[in-house]
Chains A and B, each alone.
Chain A
Amino acid sequence: DTGVSQDPRHKITKRGQNVTFRCDPISEHNRLYWYRQTLGQGPEFLTYFQNEAQLEKSRLLSDRFSAERPKGSFSTLEIQRTEQGDSAMYLCASSFPGSNEKLFFGSGTQLSVL
């Protein structure tokens, strides 16, 4: 069990640029979640997948955000035309069936938009 891994750990970008983050869940976990966390706040739900199907997307998520999970394995989160308000820690988590959604979190990608 290597845990949930995320790449990169840190990303600094200029406003208007596109960024993409990757998450590799624990191998037998079929559900994968993306959360966003800002300083002093709890993780905020963005979207989740069951296998390759994206089952829910937060209404707070603008059209600039898109996520994929091809073949139900790793997932990518892309943010287009980044804004300073997108600066946050982006956390990925996974869970397995029958676990009552016990989440295993990755270490996150810290995004800074200048």
Chain B
Amino acid sequence: QQPVQSPQAVILREGEDAVINCSSSKALYSVHWYRQKHGEAPVFLMILLKGGEQKGHDKISASFNEKKQQSSLYLTASQLSYSGTYFCGIRSNDYKLSFGAGTTVTVRA
């Protein structure tokens, strides 16, 4: 079952912050975040495992609330290079990832 992402799209100016949310109706083993630029393959950003840990990738960080079955991706002091579509992928009790519909981020100068 697909996770639900929100918002669908966000427009930022350079230096602004944004939060992307991902929620699931199923118990989660891990949450993955990927970014896809137009015409390119999705690229791995980070994995969050059960335990509520927070991880970072440059000025992009994420949290995972296992009890609420939710994850949030935080874009801090956004740069032009952050533009793209962000997908969360959830893994339950098997190996496959189920991806959300994505959040399109546009960062403008």
Tell me the A residues contacting B by CB distance below 8 Å. Answer: 4, 31, 33, 35, 40-45, 48, 50, 55-56, 91, 100-108
Contact = CB atoms under 8 A, between A and B. Distances in A.
Contacts of A108: 41
B32 A102 contact: yes
A104 B42 CA distance: 8
B55 interface: no
Contacts of B43: 105
Contacts of B96: 33, 45, 48, 56, 101
B20 to A, nearest CB: 13
A42 B2 contact: yes
A43 B32 contact: no
A106 B41 contact: yes
A40 to B, nearest CB: 7
A104 B49 CA distance: 18
Given A56-B94, A102-B32, A42 B44 contact: no
Contacts of B87: 42-43
Contacts of A106: 41
A103 B96 CA distance: 10
Contact of A45 (B42, B49, B97): B97
Contacts of B101: 40-42
Interface in B15-43: 30, 32, 34, 40-43
A103 B102 contact: no
A106 B47 CA distance: 19
7 contacts: A31-B95, A40-B101, A43-B99, A50-B95, A100-B91, A102-B47, A107-B41
Nearest to B29: A100
B100 interface: yes
Contacts of B98: 45
